[in-house]
Amino acid sequence: MKAVVIDRFGDVDVLRDEDVPVPEPGAGELRVRVRAVGTNPVDTQNRANGSWARLTAPAILGYDVAGTVDAISPGAGVFAPGDAVFYMSDFFDNRFGAYAEYHVAPASFVVRKPGALSFVEAAAVPLAGLTALQTLDRLRVAPGDALLVYGAAGGVGSFAVQIAVARGALVVAVASRKHEPLLSRLGVRATLDYRLASPAAAAAAAIGRQLDAVADFAGQGGIADALPVLRTGGSAASVVSLGSDLDLAIDRNVALHGVLVRPNRPGLLELANLVERGAVKPVIRTVLPLTADGAKTAHFLLESGHGAGKIVLEA
């Protein structure tokens, strides 16, 4: 089969088209004919240096998958060949990702694709959607809560905004001003430019109250910025870096959370339900071919930053 392979770690030029053996599913696994793959910052991180994810080269990247079931092993549950599915695979100890024609995954990770989504749209959901969902669950975002989201227009942030709005939260977004129309459509109360001296202070002024929770998907000191206007007993979470100068969290009795997304079928089922209800829809930044050249462009865009939504590779 065709696959995009890295034979060593480094810049985007290590991504190469190669012919590799078709993988065989083991016990409890199924093989999927890949139709689309979502790309994520973890892809670029693992391409540059695989040590964090315990990877060795050669390796195939890619952890967001949408496609059709091709083969099933015993114990792979209720799936049948031809079923349209989507899922997130693990990025730890996984040299055989989804930048390929076929991919093998544990059936316990896999969910049927919502009929409301194309394969490209479905591939944009799992990793970013689960990251957003798991972050909001840790923050315990509830109806009426005032939530500030840094990096709100990105792949994860755009899901977090929609899920929080669906839960009845009052959401204020921090992003580039150019993304204000998009974020307004997603239901935010206000969009604040990330270049402000204190976006959090501006958020509290805009809504006329302290914040209940903060989600940081940008990693540029957002948690420290928000602490002065975060209510006593509030919560804050980051998927990038908690940063420094967080002593105020003690005085305000704030719960701080570092969040690393993990594959989770119940969470993916919840996302599928939100999609079917029309409460959540993936934001697609661009679609590129599932080739080395397409992957190189995707990685360049991911590392450039400030884009809205997900970059998807289509087979």
In the CATH hierarchy, which fold is given to the domain comprising 128-258?
Rossmann fold (3.40.50)
- Residue 211 in this model has a pLDDT that exceeds 90: yes
Judge whether residue 219 has pLDDT over 90: no
What's the CATH number of domain 2-125+282-314, 1.10.287.610, 2.10.25.10, 3.90.180.10, 3.40.50.10790? 3.90.180.10
Distances (CA, A) of 102 to 24, 86, 181: 10, 13, 38
> Taking every pair of C-alpha atoms in the chain, what is the biggest distance, in angstroms?
60
DSSP state of 93: T
Q: Return the domain boundaries, the chain.
A: 2-125+282-314, 128-258
> pLDDT of 55-108, one tens digit each?
999 999 999 999 999 999 988 878 999 999 999 999 999 999 999 999 999 999
Residue 141: per-residue pLDDT: 97
Residue 221 has pLDDT above 80, yes or no: yes
Confidence of residue 204 (pLDDT cuts 50, 70, 90): very high
Distances in whole angstroms, Cα of residue 305 to Cα of each of 89, 155, 301: 24, 11, 7
Quick one: which H or E segment has residue 310? strand 310-314
Q: What is the pLDDT of residues 241-283, one digit of tens each?
A: 887 788 899 988 999 999 999 999 999 999 999 999 999 999 9
For position 112, what pLDDT does the model report?
A: 97
Shared fold status for 2-125+282-314 and 128-258: no
Helix 155-166, helix 265-276: angle, nearest 10:
70
**pTM of the full structure:** 0.96
